[in-house]
A and B are shown apart, each in its own frame.
Chain A
Amino acid sequence: MVEIGIVVGEARPEWIQFFAKDVVRVGEFVTVDTVDGQALYLVESSKLESKLLSRVHDYITAMEAKEASKVNPRDTVRYCTARAVGLVKDILKGIRVYPTLPPDPGSPVFLAEDELLRRIFHNDSKEWVEVGRLLRRNSVTVSVNLNKVASRHLAILAATGKGKSNLLALIAKRVAEKNGTMVILDYHAEYYDLKIEKMRFVCPKINPRYLDSEELADMLDIRSDATKQRDVLRRAYTKDVMRSPNFWEALEENLRNEAENEEDFQTRVTARRVLEIIERSLAIKGNIFDTEVESPLNLIEPNKINVLDLSGLTEIQAQIIVAHYLTEILNDRKNAMLKRKSRFRSPVVIAVEEAHTFIPQDRSSRCSGVLARIAREGRKFGVSLILVSQRPCKLNADVASQMGSFAISGLTHPRDQNFVMEVTDEVSTELGASLSSLNTGEMILTGQWITVPALVKVDLVEEKHMGMDLDAVGLWAEDANVGRKRISTEELIKL
């Protein structure tokens, strides 16, 4: 074992500070002997300081101090803090047991050996899947427990461009390899060109008969403040219309009656306006309505990765669709657990892209109720959530706190960092401070799906193209050359 430092200052069972001989990076694993046995620690902060250069207040003195510091190795201080992630002997059994006493001051700090980390992070059991490598040990692969994702929920919280979509695609790929069922609520059409096995793209359909008049008004794009138009629609949307084999014709007939026969002039005008809105809405996105579809579930295939394309919808429309689909899925799984007729005989994982749109912190949305219910009760029925968001502080904290596992990266806003620290007890202030410095694909994985928290370089999904910035210049050049004959320089000279 390589000794890299010495425990100094105040040590606690869960936390130590040490001076290091050489560079020790955040995310590195070290071991220290305690009275309970060898404990594994994750380095959460690493500071490098020249005592001399810390005291200078001007450029010239700093330049002089730099030269002086070079000749004195004692002037450079490497100071690290590390959090205990458990006793090695218990971690190897898959249990997290913390030391009951801190190591003695002056205890040597050792770099954890690759072989030990391999035994901790790599798991070949069927419920474990590989997602990447330890950020500081490229030779150590990291496995996560899919059972925990499918039962205790997962939150992927990372800034734009840090690899959220890649990780979700990777999880989808791994779920597909295990014949699992997954529904990805794709709000920004990020997965339309993802080409992995068993993946299917679903244009969501909804039967307007199952909507109440307010939901129908939202789906038809009637403004929320157009109360008169909504009143007219409510009156026209009768039970007869709901039961009618020709739903739209029956609805339009009621509205026409009002437009022609209503005594009040203003109401007649409003009814005509609602008719125009329906006509326009059906022309633009009529394919989303299907008056014959029995259940939205028929569009979702078990044992497949179903990408539900919500990209053409407004926020409210997407919320309504999500509410209906998720309610049906939850009810179906309840039936499955009660041995009744059901479509999904095995657990369903639901991934919610742009989760802050569907379960916002400051208000309720059309689907926040069902999402909160799944977060609370989903485990009992085999329905789990993967929440994906780049603004975690805008997520409903109650729902977020139900997440059993986390993948976090690149959060720069202090409110987002604080939110993460509030909902997970394994991301400390020190580790949280390093979040903003993580590069694309580098994530802190923590919670029940991983043996111990770790900084991981997530594998790149080769089949994935989404989330990348457009090569606009390349595309323009390609576009400009379409249909034009290529002429060489020699040919141009001849001309």
Chain B
Amino acid sequence: MTLKQLFERAKLVKQRLQEEESSERFREWLSRAKDVWKSYKPSKVEKKVAAIDSGWNYRTYCGFYLYAIRAVAVAQSSETVTDPIVDVDILPMEDDGSGISPELYIQGIAECYEHDLASKVANLLDIVLVDGSILARLNAMRTLSRVKLFREYAVYVRPLKNAKNILFVSKYSQDRSLVHGALGDVYYINRVTNDIGYTEPITFERDGMTISVFYVRLSKNSDAIHVEVPAIVDLEYVRSVIDALYNTAVKGYPYALMVAHEIASLPNDFMDMISEVAGLSVLPTAREVLEVG
């Protein structure tokens, strides 16, 4: 019964999208996306590139949860650029009365580790790629500012200020600041452009930082990616980023970020092992409680 209702709702979404696409304002958004896009013919430039990513996982037990985090900074060759940061601990669900979910809490810690690694390696490399959006992170932290951890978040973000070579990269950006359409900018850009290129950087102020935002496409016929730099950058800078990254991009995504993602990930079977080593494997997890009966 509910399935039928769900499908009916989904049909309405389709109808709405179709109506939207035939509207005048949709054509305007597409036209705007086309206007802001600049095609570019890159030339290969060798640069020292590394990527930063973190993997985390957790197990919920009665009264607490066990989490593990692994944050890495790696080159495309899989070599680590600096020592990774690992963290395993147990926490009660509402340690400081905030009541936020383990996901948000662990993600916050993992981001702190990523920022820490980024600031550590920035002096060693030409380009440091971080998976995610600094703007989205800072926005989320504002809403969680009452949590003790996130009052410390700024400590890890501050060193990134004016770091021109630290790039936050999002594949599925929701940012609407460029085209101002109903959907994210990248939706319209991908609809009307398909060649290697970029958009002009625009800047935002957030928590005392100037953040430049632009889009680039590293391979023809791939999706554009959203890039944020915690500094003021110009068009020349954007082009140099494409020159440095396009040659090893896979489906338009920087390869170093793929490597970092794979090395940092903490899949469930690893988490099982960590739980065993921590002596917790005999305790029932929240998931197992659901399976009873």
Contact = CB atoms under 8 A, between A and B. Distances in A.
Closest 10 CB pairs of A and B: A68-B255, A74-B78, A68-B248, A71-B76, A64-B250, A61-B251, A65-B250, A68-B250, A72-B78, A72-B77
A72 B255 CA distance: 10
Interface of B: 76-78, 219-221, 247-251, 255, 258-259, 262
A67 B259 CA distance: 14
Interface string A34-75: 000000000000000001100010001100110110011111
Contact of A68 (B76, B220, B221, B262): B76
Contacts of A60: 219-221
Contact of A73 (B77, B221, B248, B250): B77
Nearest to B246: A64
A106 to B, nearest CB: 15
Interface string A396-437: 000000000000000000000000000000000000000000
Contacts of A68: 76, 248-250, 255, 258
Contacts of B255: 68, 71-72
B248 A71 contact: yes
Contacts of B250: 52, 56, 61, 64-65, 68
A64 B259 CA distance: 14
B247 A67 contact: yes
Contacts of A74: 77-78, 259
A31 B78 CA distance: 30
A71 B220 CA distance: 21
A60 B251 CA distance: 8
14 contacts: A51-B262, A60-B219, A64-B219, A64-B248, A64-B250, A65-B250, A67-B247, A68-B248, A68-B255, A71-B77, A72-B77, A72-B78, A72-B255, A74-B259
Given A52-B258, A72-B259, A64 B251 contact: yes
A126 B107 CA distance: 75
A64 B249 contact: yes
Given A52-B258, A65-B250, A67-B247, 6 more contacts: A52-B250, A64-B219, A64-B251, A68-B250, A71-B76, A73-B77
Contacts of B262: 51
Nearest to B255: A68
Nearest to A53: B250
A247 B258 CA distance: 90
Given A52-B258, A60-B219, A73 B78 contact: yes
A144 B248 CA distance: 54
A72 B263 CA distance: 12
Contacts of B248: 64, 67-68, 71
A147 B220 CA distance: 69
A52 B220 CA distance: 19
A110 B140 CA distance: 53
A60 B40 CA distance: 19
A362 B255 CA distance: 59
B77 to A, nearest CB: 5
A56 B252 CA distance: 13
A179 B76 CA distance: 67
A51 B249 CA distance: 15
A345 B221 CA distance: 82
Nearest to B254: A68
A65 B252 CA distance: 11
Nearest to A65: B250
Contacts of A56: 250
Nearest to A70: B248
A68 B247 CA distance: 8
A78 to B, nearest CB: 15
A61 B250 CA distance: 6
A61 B222 CA distance: 9
A73 B250 CA distance: 16
